[in-house]
């Protein structure tokens, strides 16, 4: 499957570093904004901003009440931002350790939040230039954060499969996706590599998301491309923008609108949200009822 660049449209305007994006049932979108707030983009493209969460909002998810869960990589907080602009802090540390670089949150069907913390170092640029296995994933359950897995070389996008049997983590600086079995005891298995052991020269994975057929979609900012790993473990690149005509370092992907057959792309350098039609519906997230 290949998606032609001319089929990619954009929605919204005036965004700064919309790294994370989420689609709501009413046709609107939430997007992170690098000025310490979030954007709400209506289906007609009208863009407004809400909240004052500080730092640098990164990955997003949405709870069943419509609140935006933010991994704030700029101030080391996981936050819940209400539509009225008020917010509260859900996590700053876990197991007595400061979580300095929350990257992406994922809410499961039990309303637990899984959140990646990219590195234990304060200097994220240094962690990217001199990678070390000091990233982790935290589970926030009943208001208590607990480290579930450690030893990840820049923990980035995370997802659970629709059956919630496995946790998937983009291990960016190793250019691969890790998978952990989730046991009924709430423990996780040792990691295994999901898909290719090396995603290629520019294959540093960022955000990930499932569709209903079992494809794990991956955003590649260094590649300026979007692809997916199919259920057999093969990587297929479906959209590549070598001249940055419409993709500007894509960082996340979500699905929404009718039948959840439209993909929306967050990015590190964009000022709007690229979107395109996909052949398979995205997997339904907890805030999506249709």
pLDDT average, residue stretch 30-34: 98
In tens, the pLDDT along 49-100 reads 999 999 999 999 999 999 999 999 999 999 999 999 999 999 999 999 999 9
Residue 290 has pLDDT above 90, yes or no: no
- Determine the pLDDT at residue 202: 96
Cβ–Cβ under 8 Å, residues 87 and 68: no
Confidence label for 45 from pLDDT (cuts 50, 70 and 90): very high
Strand segments, DSSP code E, in 153-260 are 155-160, 166-171, 176-181, 192-194, 208-210, 216-220, 225-229, 235-240, 250-256
- Determine the pLDDT at residue 116: 98
In tens, the pLDDT along 158-180 reads 999 999 999 999 999 999 999 99
- Determine the pLDDT at residue 248: 98
Calpha distance 196→103 (Å, rounded): 23
Which residues on adjacent β-strands are paired with residue 95? none
Residue 1 has pLDDT above 90, yes or no: no
- Determine the pLDDT at residue 185: 85
pLDDT average, residue stretch 186-195: 95
Residue 206 has pLDDT above 90, yes or no: yes
- Determine the pLDDT at residue 117: 98
In tens, the pLDDT along 101-156 reads 999 999 999 999 999 999 999 899 999 999 999 999 999 999 999 999 999 999 99
Which sign does the torsion angle of CA 1, 224, 218, 111 carry?
negative
In tens, the pLDDT along 213-269 reads 999 999 999 999 999 999 999 999 999 999 999 999 999 999 999 999 999 999 999
How open is the CA angle 161-258-30, to the nearest 5 degrees? 70
In this structure, which long-range contacts are made by residues 256-261, counting pairs with CB atoms below 8 Å and at least 24 apart in sequence? 256/23, 256/24, 256/25, 256/27, 256/29, 256/282, 256/288, 257/23, 257/27, 257/43, 260/23, 260/212, 260/284, 260/288
Instruction: Using only the alpha carbons of the chain, give its radius of gyration.
Output: 17
Residue 183 token pair: 């046991």
| Domain-wise residue ranges, the chain | 5-277
- Please provide the CATH number assigned to the domain covering 5-277: 2.120.10.30
- Determine the pLDDT at residue 167: 98
pTM, rounded to two decimals: 0.98
Residue 186 has pLDDT above 90, yes or no: no
Strand segments, DSSP code E, in 29-76 are 29-33, 37-41, 47-50, 57-62, 68-72
- Determine the pLDDT at residue 104: 98
């Amino acid at each position: 499957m290949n998606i032609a660049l001319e089929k990619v449209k954009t929605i919204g305007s005036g965004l700064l570093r919309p790294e994370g994006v989420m689609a709501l049932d009413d046709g609107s979108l939430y997007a992170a904004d690098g000025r310490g707030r979030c954007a709400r983009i209506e289906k007609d493209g009208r863009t407004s901003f809400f909240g004052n969460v500080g730092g640098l909002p990164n990955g997003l998810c949405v709870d069943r009440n419509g609140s935006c869960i933010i991994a704030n990589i700029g101030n080391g907080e996981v936050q819940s931002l209400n539509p009225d602009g008020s917010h509260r802090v859900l996590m700053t540390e876990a197991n007595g350790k400061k979580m300095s670089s929350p990257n992406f949150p994922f809410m499961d069907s039990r309303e637990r939040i899984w959140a990646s913390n990219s590195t234990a170092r304060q200097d994220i640029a240094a962690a990217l230039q001199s990678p070390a296995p000091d990233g982790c994933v935290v589970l926030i359950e009943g208001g208590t954060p607990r480290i579930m897995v450690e030893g990840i070389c820049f923990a980035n996008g995370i997802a659970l499969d629709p059956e919630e049997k496995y946790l998937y983590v983009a291990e960016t600086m190793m250019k691969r996706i890790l998978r952990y079995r989730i046991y009924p005891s709430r423990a996780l298995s040792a990691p295994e590599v999901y898909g290719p052991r090396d995603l290629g020269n520019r294959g540093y994975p960022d955000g990930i998301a499932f569709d209903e057929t079992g494809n794990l979609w991956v955003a590649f900012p260094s590649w300026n491309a979007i692809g997916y790993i199919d259920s057999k473990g093969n990587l297929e690149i479906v959209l590549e923008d070598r001249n940055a005509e419409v993709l500007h370092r894509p960082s996340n992907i979500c699905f929404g609108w009718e039948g959840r057959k439209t993909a929306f792309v967050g990015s590190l350098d964009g000022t709007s949200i690229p979107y395109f039609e996909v052949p398979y519906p995205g997997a339904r997230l907890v805030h999506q009822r249709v």
